[in-house]
Amino acid sequence: MSKEYNVAVAGATGAVGIEMIRTLEKRNFPVRNLHLLASSRSVGKILTYKDTEIAVEELTEKSFHNIDIALFSAGADISRQFRQAVVDSGAVMIDNSSAFRMEDDVPLVVPEVNPEDIRKHNRVIANPNCSTIIMLVAVAPLHRAKRLKRLVAATYQATSGAGAKGMAELELQTRQVLDNEEIVPKAFAHRIAFNLIPHIDKFYDNGYTREELKMLFESRKMLHLPKLMVSCTCVRVPVIRAHSEALNLEFEREITPVEAREILTAAPGVTVIDDPAANVYPMPVDASGQDNVLVGRIRQDISRHDRRGLDIFVSGDQVLKGAALNAVQIAELL
């Protein structure tokens, strides 16, 4: 009989927490007991797992007694607050926030990218930023074949990246624009309906945002390339769910689009969607609800005089592979 595990989900009532519960069920993770944890205002709320109704409990330092794996998606401050309680209980924290990603003794893991790093954990494992996950699922197999040297990214990030409140704001504002009603932005700095906002997270003195620098530093850590050159522009777009990214890649060795398609077709977690003549390419509407990252628009970089450059376009479900699914896959690796 295979071993079963006591699992806790912290932040269970949020968009990612709910998706974590669904993903545990869909992938038939060996759960013995499931504990759903949230703030005091959610206590008693009923959520369903495998046709069983489970009441949400208050997240406290005593919540992790007899827990084997604690999936956290409650924000960085909460993760920091409860880290020691999880570790002291003997559980392993798989954290979806930015709290511990760049700590040297915390593995930052995407199972398709760097599964070997999980062995270094000291009872805390970090989920990368959603945009980094979606990008590296597609880029890592190409890097392994041709060695990545430089990456330039432009992201088209869905409102799901701001949680349930971001998605709700897009829906509300879309109706308000069509009904010619006044709009008061709350979840974003500006109106998101029928608009693009080239601003995700806070700006630094160098003109880049925190979101953009996450993609730089997290990519370096996971690919074990401390000098990798990365430049990003992260843009919020009026899409409910699934992030997209336009990626310009420079490799140390020559690579052709034919080679890239062959590599990506064989790569785990990737679905190649690449037939522009038939109007077939990755789009967030198709990536939503999909476990795999969609990759297409694979073409040679014609600005170069050699064949070491590629352009690709990717779409991936931010809530699934960008968050909940990746966390559950880490638990499976454990």
Q: Catalytic residues, which ones?
A: 130, 243
Interatomic CA distance for residues 13 and 39, integer angstroms: 9
Q: How far is CA 7 from CA 49, 60, 205, in A?
A: 12, 15, 41
- Which among 317, 313, 326 has a CA at the least distance from the CA of 155? 313
Sign of CA dihedral 223, 227, 232, 234: positive
Interatomic CA distance for residues 20 and 307, integer angstroms: 41
Is residue 23 a contact partner of residue 328, using CB atoms and an 8 Å limit?
yes
Interatomic CA distance for residues 332 and 111, integer angstroms: 9
Please state at what angle helix 130-146 crosses helix 257-265, rounded to 10 degrees: 120
- Which among 139, 97, 110 has a CA at the least distance from the CA of 291? 110
Query: What one-letter code names the amino acid at 128?
Result: P
Q: Which residues contact 318 (CB under 8 A, 6 or more apart)?
A: 130, 131, 134, 157, 158, 160, 161, 241, 242, 243
Q: Which residues contact 328 (CB under 8 A, 6 or more apart)?
A: 20, 23, 24, 27, 29, 71
Q: Which residue has the tokens 């967030």?
A: 284
